């Protein structure tokens, strides 16, 4: 039932529409046009006012022809940089860019798959419950669209996000993440004439970072320093340096412990610095810690997992549950009580100019999604 060429053309068209984070307006208009032609009721929430995007999240609703409860389907509209002027190429069954930009398969392959699945469902009058399609903005810069989504527009209690690579898995466990932003405050001085009068903020930050355990802490926990910034001339002792990073863990207690150890390392270094200006309160460290997203844990007995595995089995395939180290919109939906499993589209080398995807993988994911919707339609009313 899948129209392979149509699916490929839909993806090609979407990939060619620029939609880096906060600039999703053009692709939202195109998606809206397609979904309205399929009979969807469309809502654009006001999240753009808070995310800085030139549009809000797009919510499309389809009435069901069965008594099944509402089912959520999710993907995000934004891409990372370099994502302007994408020229998708199709060679030997594989989509890629011209090598100067990302392709945008993350996550436009998901959008194309959902659209093709909806077309097939409508064309063949397949059974389905109410479908709530949510295409978010600003996922790549902190899940901002999902965080500011108008959840009052949704009724679904569970569903699926299409936002990972592996087409043979469903992600049922994802970590929580803390993001931290630290500033080490030192004291400026002439680096040649009076270095003794200064307090080098870079040196202090470096000492603290050297004491940290970074990378994989254990099987559940990771930590990373991803940003260091200091501006100034080489002949000035630097008086300020900013350090940003993150901690992720599937265990909430470990998340807070590792985050705390990082903050403590910076505080200890400034407190024990032999160079001090007590009158000015220097050196010192200021910091802000924010929970970027909560963890998810979906048991094997949940309908989301059973649906995905049963649908795959019906197609002669196997889907296995998987734990991931990444976050997605599914984390935010989960925190709002919408249990959301994450399934793959086949996208590879994402966030690089080498990104690629096989059309055959997209076709297989569309087949899986249609079978999920069909099976879900036979569930009857929510208990």
**Domain limits at 187?**
177-293
Per-residue pLDDT of the chain (383 residues; tens, 9 = 90+): 899 999 999 999 999 999 999 999 999 999 999 999 999 999 999 999 999 999 999 999 999 999 999 999 999 999 999 999 999 999 999 999 999 999 999 999 999 999 999 999 999 999 999 999 999 999 999 999 999 999 999 999 999 999 999 999 999 999 999 999 999 999 999 999 999 999 999 999 999 999 999 999 999 999 999 999 999 999 999 999 999 999 999 999 999 999 999 999 999 999 999 999 999 999 999 999 999 999 999 999 999 999 999 999 999 999 999 999 999 999 999 999 999 999 999 999 999 999 999 999 999 999 999 999 999 998 644 33
Instruction: Specify whether 264 is located in the same domain as 322.
Output: no
Instruction: Specify whether 120 is located in the same domain as 10.
Output: yes
Among 293, 321, 339, residue at a domain's last position: 293
Q: Are the beta carbons of 210 and 217 closer than 8 angstroms?
A: no
Secondary structure of the chain in HEC code, one letter for each residue: CCCHHHHHHHHHHHHCCCCECCCCHHHHHHHHHHHHHCCCEEEECCCHHHHCCCCCCEEEEECCCCCCCCEEEEEECCECCCCCCCCCEEECCEEECCCCCCCCHHHHHHHHHHHHHHHHHHHCCCCCCCEEEEEECCHHHCCHHHHCCCHHHCCCCEEEEEEECCCCEEEEEECEEEEEEEEEECECCECCCCHHHCECHHHHHHHHHHCCCCEEEECCEEEEEEEEECCCCCCECCCEEEEEEEEEECCHHHHHHHHHHHHHHHHHHHHCCCCCECCCCECEEEEEEEEEECCEECCCCCHHHHHHHHHHHHCCCCCEEEECCCCCHHHHHHHCCCEEEEEECCCECCCCCCCEEEHHHHHHHHHHHHHHHHHHHCCCCCC
Instruction: Specify whether 41 is located in the same domain as 153.
Output: yes
Beta bridge partners of 223: 215, 247
Give the pLDDT of residue 380.
45
Residue 351 is assigned to a structural domain of this protein = yes
Instruction: Specify whether 134 is located in the same domain as 182.
Output: no
Instruction: Specify whether 84 is located in the same domain as 144.
Output: yes
Q: What is the CATH number of the domain that holds 38?
A: 3.40.630.10
Residue 105 is assigned to a structural domain of this protein = yes
Instruction: Specify whether 318 is located in the same domain as 269.
Output: no
Instruction: Specify whether 278 is located in the same domain as 181.
Output: yes
Neighbour count for residue 142 (Cβ, 10 Å): 17
Among 293, 323, 350, residue at a domain's last position: 293
Residue 42 is assigned to a structural domain of this protein = yes
Q: Are the beta carbons of 221 and 251 closer than 8 angstroms?
A: yes
Residue 20 is assigned to a structural domain of this protein = yes
Residue 317 is assigned to a structural domain of this protein = yes
**Cα gap 243→210, rounded to integer Å:** 13
125 burial (CB, 10 Å; 0-12 / 13-18 / 19+) is exposed
Instruction: Specify whether 287 is located in the same domain as 249.
Output: yes
- Two tokens, residue 310: 């049963």
Give the pLDDT of residue 379.
62
Instruction: Specify whether 225 is located in the same domain as 313.
Output: no
Residue 383 is assigned to a structural domain of this protein = no
Residue-level length of the chain: 383
Q: Are the beta carbons of 224 and 214 closer than 8 angstroms?
A: yes
Half-sphere exposure of 361 (CA within 13 A, CB side): 21
Residues designated as active site? 78, 139
Residue 382 is assigned to a structural domain of this protein = no
Q: Are the beta carbons of 19 and 111 closer than 8 angstroms?
A: no
Q: Are the beta carbons of 68 and 379 closer than 8 angstroms?
A: yes
Instruction: Specify whether 289 is located in the same domain as 274.
Output: yes
Give the pLDDT of residue 89.
98
How many structural domains are present in the chain?
2
Q: What is the CATH number of the domain that holds 220?
A: 3.30.70.360
Residue 158 is assigned to a structural domain of this protein = yes
Query: Quick one: how far is CA 308 from the chain centroid?
Result: 21
**Cα gap 196→177, rounded to integer Å:** 40
Instruction: Specify whether 108 is located in the same domain as 234.
Output: no
Query: Quick one: how far is CA 162 from the chain centroid?
Result: 11
Instruction: Specify whether 279 is located in the same domain as 304.
Output: no
Among 293, 313, 348, residue at a domain's last position: 293
> Which residue in 150, 149, 137, 160 sits closest to 70, CA to CA?
160
């Amino acid at each position: 039932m899948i129209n392979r060429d149509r699916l490929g053309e839909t993806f090609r068209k979407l990939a060619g529409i620029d939609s880096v984070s906060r600039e999703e307006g053009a692709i939202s208009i195109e998606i809206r046009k397609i979904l309205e032609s399929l009979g969807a009721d469309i809502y654009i929430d006001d999240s753009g006012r808070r995310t800085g995007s030139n549009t809000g999240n797009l919510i499309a609703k389809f009435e069901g022809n069965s008594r099944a409860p509402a089912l959520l389907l999710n993907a995000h509209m934004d891409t990372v940089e370099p994502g302007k002027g994408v020229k998708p190429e199709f060679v030997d069954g594989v989509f890629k860019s011209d090598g100067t930009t990302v392709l945008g398969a993350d996550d436009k392959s998901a959008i194309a798959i959902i659209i093709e699945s909806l077309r097939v469902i409508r064309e063949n009058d397949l059974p389905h419950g109410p479908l709530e399609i949510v295409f978010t903005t600003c996922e790549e810069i902190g899940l901002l669209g999902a965080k500011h989504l108008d959840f009052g527009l949704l009724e679904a209690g569970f569903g699926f996000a299409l936002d990972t690579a592996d087409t043979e898995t469903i992600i049922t466990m994802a970590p929580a993440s803390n993001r931290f932003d630290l500033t080490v405050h030192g004291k400026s001085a002439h680096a040649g004439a009076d270095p003794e009068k200064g307090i080098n903020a870079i040196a202090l930050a470096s000492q603290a970072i050297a004491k940290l355990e970074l990378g994989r802490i254990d099987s559940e926990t990771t930590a990373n320093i991803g940003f260091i910034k200091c501006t100034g001339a080489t002949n000035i002792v630097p008086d300020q340096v900013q350090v940003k990073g993150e901690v992720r863990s599937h265990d909430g207690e470990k998340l807070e412990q590792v985050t705390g150890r990082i903050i403590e390392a910076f505080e200890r270094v400034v407190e024990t610095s032999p160079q001090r200006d007590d009158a000015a309160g220097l050196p010192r460290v200021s910091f802000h810690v924010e929970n970027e997203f909560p963890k998810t844990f979906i048991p094997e007995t949940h309908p989301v997992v059973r649906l995905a595995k049963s649908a795959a089995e019906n197609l002669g395939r196997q889907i296995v549950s998987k734990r991931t180290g990444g976050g997605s919109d599914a984390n935010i939906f989960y925190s709002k009580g919408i249990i959301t499993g994450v399934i793959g589209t086949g996208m590879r080398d994402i966030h690089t100019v080498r990104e690629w995807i096989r059309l055959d993988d997209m076709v297989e994911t569309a087949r899986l999604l249609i079978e999920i919707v069909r099976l879900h339609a036979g569930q009857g009313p929510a208990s």
